[in-house]
Structure 1
């Protein structure tokens, strides 16, 4: 493989692993941690054979790409050893993975989710696993895999050897290490969250709308052999990749929503040199080893400061010189401050030719109350929201007809038909009619709202019987009904008009009426 001298993490970890002790390794990315546990593991496993569905060692990785890379290194390092391995990752055929486990494997390289799926289906047993390797433990924590890892550890034999590697040592990682490890040998190569000294860093602060143009200018002016371009969101990866292809760059896209065969094919094209640029999310920020990667560009400043170290750690590997440049908007100050606090030093600023360099904004809340480009909404630009010029019709919508003005209340009252007034006058008393005429003369705004309710409460309830008597005096006898002459069939029977023959002899007619 061309390795002549071990890296510091390899020189300290390999002897301890060969002794059978647990190891807690803390080293920045790109320092050779993979070979630090793979090489001694091959030496330990070379003495015996594996059984069906019982892997002898287990290596847990947070991402599929990292698991695939460890499997490739295993094949290269163990070229002359008769050891078998199996790769358990999502997106691949589970039947083929079961078949590989049935033949027996010495090294099982897996992601936590697929491993638990196969275990619940009865595809493997973990009782004979003597060595457990947890790689990129801090990334496991960020991706939410720690509950799965804890369950996997509970399925293993307590007499195992555990190798625990992480790029950073947060308090949560320390707690997990105390639970998983037994009297470990702690190996810390460099200060926590330190960046490699051979990586040249830079930070440009430009407007949000100028970020793509600044990236294209940097790609043309810098001596870029191949580069990784990181975005925070998956949809921005696709948008930026299409934009670069449109401007003549050879670029591919890599993120978690792509099918696994597409991800593998894109990564292989980039490693082979068929693609110069690879726009990706943080799925490629951990453990992806691409030989001779010259540049890393942070199109978006990472939200989590630890991700910055892993991103720029893709370049400057194996002692080579690398370049890592970040493009920030004026509202990314809080993220840059967190990165500089974590690394312990400030990122040098630089200017992009032809692009205006800005300063940090007073309001560092990212995107709150602003549209694209960091412009406050309603600042005078023509958009669907915040439009200030309303003197003419909206653009591309044509002139709209003027709205019909609402007529005053007096007009509405005057438009009432005269027949309705006559009908109201016929059924009301002269006093009520005079009151109504005075009420109609008042404007509506004086009759509505708070003035209307008290007036209704003070007005006495109208007595219908009194109105009928008053109407009888004014207009004579009622015109509805039978008047004073009531038909005989509506009168109750009396003793005078009852029939003498009741149908029952010897009974009182009143009793018969009471009985119905």
Structure 2
């Protein structure tokens, strides 16, 4: 058999996934601990080419999920792994997968292994892991994700790939077009299963399972173990080895959590002041809505921050470029939605901000898990308003500890029981009532409640007057001419451009210029030389053409 190692690597050829000096996978003992009690990568049954790549990356100790999962995967067992985000789940299946696939080659259109990911960003992250750990192995991998040319992806598959990393929708699309066969797929990985459930991919996954061979090894990883996730695991796995390395949905102890409570209309200013005070080297800011992502990115850019944004409505090429700029340090802040909550792995990320608290408490754990990774210190700061109290309580119940509100320099913080000032004042939509005693002009009935009802004027004694009960309908913010305007001896009254309430449809809320030209009404105070029965006449002098 040809050695599966590049010529410059001084290693023993890989044969049947194990080196001569490595123990047989089925007889692998538990990893030997180091002097500090933690296991070493060198004690795991991994071949020399993989170990060389791990050492070059500077890793000595596997994480708990890696130390327990890697030997079981190499033994051929189905694995159900539960671990919080940021604990190294990706390497726990990529490393043994490289070991198992290194002994043979793939055939055209028939990938030997399949990894399903919920998002494109996470699929890219897994592909990066294969590049790093498999640099001394002649194994190929391919990405099958949306937003990229399907023709190019079909061409790669036709050359044969050992590892196929895909999102469910694009995979089914390629299969329906005849560009993919999965009869030779012997290793199947479902990553971030709880996220798959949240995004509605479970029916697609169930269909994909029917396309795979019945005798395959399945690895099922999730950050949480809700009852629905348990049901899915029972249907996909055969006598799995269950590995739980931490309490589900717990926050890493290396993350310092803070909570700042402010008024709703001061959230943007509060975030800006925090960023200016902390001078964060890099930070991710999470919003719940895509339009808020765009708004916040423009706001921070306006105030001098190198800011990018990321959400599902952006073109795939722009998302890739933005993520690469953030990883390289060209961008200081990345504003994103939850689409990237589990797809970003930035080494040394210092801060995570929740501009909006997530509606799902588990998303809080996934968001802040972007920092404090690999034992490094991280910081998570959430900006809340009094209406977010229930969301905070749900998060605290999930993580099993309280997040105490804190004060911050230059920011006016409030408490949960704070009542906004607008709730104690008279709403602006209701016009104040004025009695005849307060306004003598009303006693004559001439100026009595001029606001009119929607739908037009009422005729009363030959003159235009407003509906008496329209004060509660028309907003007081609409400007009105309370006194008539005199032009060429004729008294006229300027009517507002809009007399009806919002919304102003058809123009996106903006009033076009031609509609701002005031309309003219009939004479209110006739001039001595004017005939009331004839229309008002205008000449050039009225428009300044003299």
Which category describes the TM-score, using the shorter chain as reference length? 0.7 to 0.9
Whether contact under 8 Å (1:228, 1:279) holds in the other structure is yes
Q: Which whole-Å deviations, capped at 9, do the CAs of 1:376-397 have from their partners, x for residues lacking one?
A: 4x94364xxx344476984452
Structure 1 residues 390, 86: closer, same or farther in 2, change over 3 A?
farther
Shift of 1:359: 2.1
Which deviates more, 346-355 or 324-333?
346-355
Q: Tell whether 2:139 aligns with 1:83.
A: yes
Provide the residue aligned with 2:63 in structure 1. Answer: 7
**For residues 374 and 251 of structure 1, what CA distance do their matches in structure 2 show?**
33
Q: Tell whether 2:299 aligns with 1:243.
A: yes
Whether contact under 8 Å (1:379, 1:388) holds in the other structure is no
Highest relative contact order (Cα 8 Å, sep 6+), 1 or 2? Answer: 1
Provide the residue aligned with 2:158 in structure 1. Answer: 102
Shift of 1:146: 0.5
RMSD value over aligned CA atoms? 1.9
Shift of 1:250: 1.0
TM-score calculated relative to the size of structure 1: 0.73
Whether contact under 8 Å (1:30, 1:287) holds in the other structure is no
Q: Alignment partner of 2:387: what SS?
A: coil
**For residues 228 and 261 of structure 2, what CA distance do their matches in structure 1 show?**
33
Shift of 1:184: 0.3
Q: How does 1:18-417 map to 2 (within 5 A)?
A: 18-361=74-417, 375-376=422-423, 379-380=425-426, 382=428, 386-389=429-432, 394-395=476-477, 397-399=479-481
Higher helix share: 1
Shift of 1:334: 1.1
**For residues 12 and 193 of structure 1, what CA distance do their matches in structure 2 show?**
19
Q: Which whole-Å deviations, capped at 9, do the CAs of 1:458-497 have from their partners, x for residues lacking one?
A: xxxxxxxxxxxxxxxxxxxxxxxxxxxxxxxxxxxxxxxx
Shift of 1:72: 1.2
Whether contact under 8 Å (1:29, 1:287) holds in the other structure is no
Whether contact under 8 Å (2:192, 2:222) holds in the other structure is yes
Whether contact under 8 Å (1:331, 1:361) holds in the other structure is no
Structure 2's unaligned 5+ residue stretches are 1-56, 435-448, 452-475, 485-546
**For residues 282 and 32 of structure 1, what CA distance do their matches in structure 2 show?**
20
Structure 1's unaligned 5+ residue stretches are 364-372, 403-516
**For residues 62 and 422 of structure 2, what CA distance do their matches in structure 1 show?**
52
Query: Greater Rg, structure 1 or structure 2?
Result: 1
Q: Which whole-Å deviations, capped at 9, do the CAs of 1:189-235 have from their partners, x for residues lacking one?
A: 00111000010001111110111111111111124110000000000
Provide the residue aligned with 2:20 in structure 1. Answer: none
Structure 1 residues 123, 390: closer, same or farther in 2, change over 3 A?
farther
Q: Which whole-Å deviations, capped at 9, do the CAs of 1:48-71 have from their partners, x for residues lacking one?
A: 110111100000000000001111
Structure 1 residues 326, 401: closer, same or farther in 2, change over 3 A?
same
Provide the residue aligned with 1:477 in structure 2. Answer: none
TM-score calculated relative to the size of structure 2: 0.69
Structure 1 residues 390, 246: closer, same or farther in 2, change over 3 A?
farther
Q: Which whole-Å deviations, capped at 9, do the CAs of 1:325-353 have from their partners, x for residues lacking one?
A: 10001000111111001001111221122
Q: Alignment partner of 1:331: what SS?
A: helix
